Every structure is written in C-alpha cells, then in structure tokens.
Amino acid sequence: MTPLDTPAAPRDEAPARAPVLTIPADAPFFIVMNAGSGRKQSAETRAILDRELGAAGRRYELRLVDDPADLSATARRAVADAIAQNGVVVGAGGDGTLCAVAAATLGSGCPYAVLPRGTFNYFSRDHGIPADLEASTRLLLTARAYPVQVGVVNGRMFLVNASLGLYPKLLEDREVYKRQFGRSRLIALFSAMATLLRRHRHLRLHIDHDGERREIRTSTLFVGNNRLQLEQIGMKEAPLLEQGLLAAIAPRALGRLAQIALTLRGAAGRLSDADNVVSFTFRRITVTHPGKRRRRVKIATDGEVTWLNMPLEFHVAPEPLFLLKPEPDIAQANRS
C-alpha cells in the first residue's frame, strides 16, 4: 500500500468537541421509516414500538415513507416537529435511509437516533447500537446523545462512505440482484464478482490536499467515514477516523482478474498488505478530472447513487450529528 500523505499531522484544525446531551425523560420520538423494505417489516416495527415505548409511557409518531423521493421531505418535517416539541428524530432502515434522515437533522441541534433495519448496518454497528429491533428500541429510552463525525461531498452528507468510479456501479448492480434474489451478504458478494468480471473504465484524477496536487489513475476512489468497515477490509487508517479525519482509498489501475484478487483480499481483511492501493487520511480534499473540470460524475453516498459536478469537495462536516448511542464502554463491547 502506498500512502499519499502522512496522516499524523494534518494542517486543518480538528473541530472542537461538542458536549454529550442528556435526553429529557418525556421527549417524544419522531420516527421516519422507509416502507420500501416491506409491509411485514413495517408492521413488525410498529408492534415493537408499541410494546417497548408504550410500556414506558413514551410518545412516538411513526412516519412511513412509501416513495423514496419523499424521504428527505418527510425527514425535514420530522425535524421541525422534534425541535418544536423538544423531541428526538429517529431513522429506521438501512444505511441509505439513516443517512437521508440524518442529513435533515444535521445542524439543527436536534438529537438523532437509529433503528437499524438494513443488510449491513455499518453505521449502527460501528456505534455499538444493537441490530435487534427490541434492543435498539429500548436503547432510545436510556441513551445519551454523543457527537459523531459525518462526511460531506459537494454539500451531500454521508455517514459511512462516498465513492466514485467502479464502486457506484457495484452498488447499482447489487440492487438489481437483490430485487431478483433477495437481500443477503452472499448475494451482494456474488453481484460484486459478476460486475468485476465485466470491462470497466479507469479514472484519471487530480487530488488537491494540503496545498499539494497528486495524480492517480484508478478504477474507483473510496472515501470512508466508518471505522468498522475500514477495519473489516484491513485498512490501517481505521483508528484515525476518531481524530476527526476521513480515509481515502484508491486501487491503482488494474485488469479484471487483478481487481477481483484485490477485492477478495479486502474481503479477507488484508487490503493494507496490497502494494497497488493508494490510501491516506484527510479533513478536506478537492478532486478534479484533468481537462474536464466541470465534468459530471456518478457518486455513491451510503449506498445511494446520484450525479454531481466536478470539482468534488470532500470534507469533514464542521458540526457533528448528536447520536443516541450506548455509553462508550458498552458501545465498544457491542461493535461487531
């Protein structure tokens, strides 16, 4: 692995550490859930909320979103109501849904919580939030809100990762396979192998970081904000995220078989051993395409794919998200 920069001494100042918030015992919960995962899951969620929160005498509103296009607007209304009533906004779903609800919450000062209902649940797992719905619902009643770091690319927030190049294509193909064969980690891996066997274009990128410009040729640029995910693929930069940094990973231009071998190495948690991977940590970088500064590129943020105009500005958000999570020692024990 080839580092672009030494991560120990970034020039940008780290954001000041925000305080931990204690949630009032009567704070209502405004829960935004993506109903696209199925009515059965929605009904199960409502039943557990009634049982766990109802028994504690806590008020909540479950706002189901049938059309993903309505998710952001629904989340913004939930934030406005939570601010008015001194409540908590809760996202229920996979990492993409959690990110959309968190984006509406960021900067509002309103506490945010999650009920993980996805396949991988990297965000909740990294913060020690139980995958079991009953346990994560009970946590709402006792947890405090800790400041957590989020990343931003051209004004678009991400909790777990952002990427361009081959990785967004992998995500698009994975959704096709999921619709045909169901949601599982095995299906996701099979889909990735099928995508990597096809021809793909390489990117030539300029990366401006701390006053220096580097050029790389790569199949994908991956920016991580999740220690658990980086640990699983074996990146040594994973612990540095707790110092207010993001991590960038870019495999050098490779053929199809070499790309598959590199992917398998990452699945085995040994990506840091690879010589043909560029990686570094940062608080802010600018990414451009030589000669095509205004080029539009496909970007994936927490599994959701969109188009953005270059240059791409990746940075740590200046304000944190106030996340309801277990106390630090318990959260560490729960990470898996």
- Residue 139: how many other CB atoms lie within 10 Å: 22
Give the rounded distance of the alpha carbon of 173 from its chain centre.
19
29-150+320-334: CATH topology:
Rossmann fold (3.40.50)
Residue ranges, comma separated, of all CATH 2.60.200.40 domains in the chain are 155-316
**In the prediction, which pLDDT does 332 show?**
78
CA angle 18, 100, 110 (to 5 degrees): 35
**In the prediction, which pLDDT does 256 show?**
59
**In the prediction, which pLDDT does 172 show?**
63
Domain 155-316 has CATH 2.60.40.420: no
Dump pLDDT digits (tens) for 74-116.
Answer: 999 999 999 999 999 999 999 999 999 999 999 999 999 999 9
Token pair 């998710």 is found at: 71
Q: Going by DSSP bridges, is the β-strand pair 284-288/220-224 parallel, antiparallel, or unpaired? A: unpaired
Dump pLDDT digits (tens) for 268-320.
Answer: 566 766 677 889 999 999 999 887 656 889 999 998 989 999 999 999 999 99
Dump pLDDT digits (tens) for 12-67.
Answer: 555 567 789 999 999 999 999 988 655 567 889 999 999 999 999 999 999 999 99
Can you tell me the mean pLDDT for 184-192?
A: 63
This prediction has a pTM of: 0.85
Residue ranges, comma separated, of all CATH 3.40.50.10330 domains in the chain are 29-150+320-334
- What DSSP line would sit under 178-236, residue for residue? HHHH-S-HHHHHHHHHHHHTS--PPEEEEEEETTEEEEEEESEEEEE--HHHHHHHT-T
Token pair 């990427």 is found at: 163
User: If pLDDT is split at 50, 70 and 90, which confidence band does 8 have?
Assistant: very low
User: If pLDDT is split at 50, 70 and 90, which confidence band does 322 have?
Assistant: very high
